[in-house]
Structure 1
């Protein structure tokens, strides 16, 4: 490694990284940082939006994971730096070690849970220490100052997002212990851990702009003045990355996931009314480390 800046992101499935942090990844890669992405599962249980690929589903050919592997490779190519530098992409434990757990809602609708058809190697059922050790090895190798993952609820409750949070949090702790499994590498402490988020003001402004442009369907037709379940109050946002210069790359990466994203429907269709800048800003909560106030515009500022 030649870069002084090292950023590590831990995501659950292919496409999660692009939706939530694609611009951030492209920005820091272009600026010369070492960017490592760890994907925990191949998304084998995902919904398939392309009718002619329906046979890939888990209850038919069960080949969606291999297909999504190709999709994430295309997305990483879309996010590469102008000098050709690429994101250092890894699969937690190696491709196929952990399988997508799927998601269903509880009968009372209060919480998400693994799909009843989840396999024994589903990520949700993974031994926490074993899974964390895979990540400890990576942390000690790439030695990031900054780690990005989800909050304790996985942002919206998906079991694999919650498990990714647990694994990333535990691994960051274990990696810093000098006497913990020395064979996994020299101890390293991550300076800052951020949780992905969407600032409430950003969503409201986007919805208002979409409606002003005649688009009443974006984000499921949610009222820009009404409740926004997935929004984070601005007061809790520690950092906001302006990825305007990388928005085109991010949307190109999003288009690499046709099985998972219909760019003409729902929130993804905001590009039709607002252009790629609808996806240009990414927000983060601070989970470890300190930042000066709530207006951080660089995840590495002060480090």
Structure 2
């Protein structure tokens, strides 16, 4: 089987955080890996002081800069087929704000061209064209909450889900290519058990300030899901370094030595080199030693 994997993400950097090691592993194995990014990430916060002038309320050049960051990240992972939905600039980053409950919601002021405002059928049809061209057996995107509530993540979930359905209908837009049914769809996730292990190691080491307010036995963010609902664990620790390099490429958005990655310092590649998934369409295949699928293509002929 000529294996093909399609990932649908909202902004440059989401792919490297969520599935960077998986992408690198599959590229190394000869799998066709295609990334579709839905926006340019124009509204992201900028962590590099000397690039602050690129902010949306100043020169508004962050999207173009992040375009270069994404290209460098894909070089680190070995991915040669990466695209923007409808072409770069078709949809703008919608921005977000934090809800008092701790999750993201749409900003009060959203650009007219924001992805959050996209017509669902129009955006899904743009992805249908990619699905029918690439013909992936497996597609990866977010869950219905977008992991943590970001409107662009939620919209990416909606667009990917609708596109998978439309792409399989022979009478829908036959001009876009022969119908194709994606066999398996996964939602990216993080293992709550692994995160709790990391938090426990931090606390046992006397670190009470990193992830302050999060405790090993307390509530976790929504994207850290109970292990009982996980379907697949892709062990790609040999590619953790490639993932780290990709993350470093997204320097305006990610501080690899910052608090978010503190778990990595304590748990090594166990946190960032093994990536987890929940199946949303199709049937799980045979499981590995972990009790989960160890290959997203498991069970496919």
Same fold per superposition (TM over 0.5): yes
Q: Residues of 1 paired with 2:71 and 2:12: CA distance? A: 9
Q: Residues of 1 paired with 2:254 and 2:209: CA distance? A: 16
Aligned match of 1:123: 115
Check the 8 A contact 2:103/2:148 in 1, yes or no: no
Measured after TM superposition, the shift of residue 263 of structure 1 is 2.1
Q: Residues of 1 paired with 2:299 and 2:167: CA distance? A: 22
CA deviations 1:223-274 (Å, max 9, x no partner) are: 1122212321111001111111110100111111111112232112334444
Asked whether 1:287 is paired with 2:250, we answer: no
Q: Residues of 2 paired with 1:212 and 1:197: CA distance? A: 25
Measured after TM superposition, the shift of residue 220 of structure 1 is 4.4
Q: TM-score, normalised by structure 1?
A: 0.92
Q: TM-score, normalised by structure 2?
A: 0.93
Summarize the Cα distance change of 1:254–1:60 in structure 2 as closer, same or farther, 3 Å threshold: same
Q: Residues of 2 paired with 1:243 and 1:298: CA distance? A: 11
Aligned match of 1:229: 221
Q: Residues of 2 paired with 1:36 and 1:137: CA distance? A: 13
Secondary structure of 2:225's counterpart equals coil
Summarize the Cα distance change of 1:177–1:283 in structure 2 as closer, same or farther, 3 Å threshold: same
Aligned match of 1:15: 13
Check the 8 A contact 2:11/2:38 in 1, yes or no: yes
Q: Residues of 2 paired with 1:100 and 1:197: CA distance? A: 22
Q: Residues of 2 paired with 1:213 and 1:73: CA distance? A: 38
Aligned match of 1:30: 28
Q: 2:128 aligns with which of 124, 133, 136?
A: 136
Measured after TM superposition, the shift of residue 278 of structure 1 is 3.3
Range moving further from structure 2, 290-299 or 25-34: 290-299
Measured after TM superposition, the shift of residue 114 of structure 1 is 2.4
Q: Residues of 1 paired with 2:69 and 2:294: CA distance? A: 30
Q: Residues of 2 paired with 1:179 and 1:132: CA distance? A: 16
Measured after TM superposition, the shift of residue 281 of structure 1 is 1.2
Aligned match of 2:197: 205
Summarize the Cα distance change of 1:34–1:57 in structure 2 as closer, same or farther, 3 Å threshold: same
Check the 8 A contact 1:172/1:190 in 2, yes or no: yes
CA deviations 1:31-85 (Å, max 9, x no partner) are: 00000000000100001111111111000000000110111111101111xxxxx
Aligned match of 2:68: 70
Q: Residues of 1 paired with 2:157 and 2:89: CA distance? A: 19
Q: 1:268 aligns with which of 238, 261, 264?
A: 261
Check the 8 A contact 2:23/2:77 in 1, yes or no: yes
Asked whether 1:49 is paired with 2:32, we answer: no
Q: Residues of 1 paired with 2:208 and 2:2: CA distance? A: 45
Check the 8 A contact 1:150/1:162 in 2, yes or no: yes
Asked whether 1:87 is paired with 2:80, we answer: yes
Check the 8 A contact 1:261/1:268 in 2, yes or no: no
Structure 2: runs of 5 or more not aligned? none
Check the 8 A contact 2:70/2:249 in 1, yes or no: yes
Q: Residues of 2 paired with 1:234 and 1:273: CA distance? A: 20
Q: Residues of 2 paired with 1:189 and 1:135: CA distance? A: 13
Summarize the Cα distance change of 1:131–1:291 in structure 2 as closer, same or farther, 3 Å threshold: same
Check the 8 A contact 1:43/1:68 in 2, yes or no: yes
Secondary structure of 1:160's counterpart equals helix
Aligned match of 1:297: 294
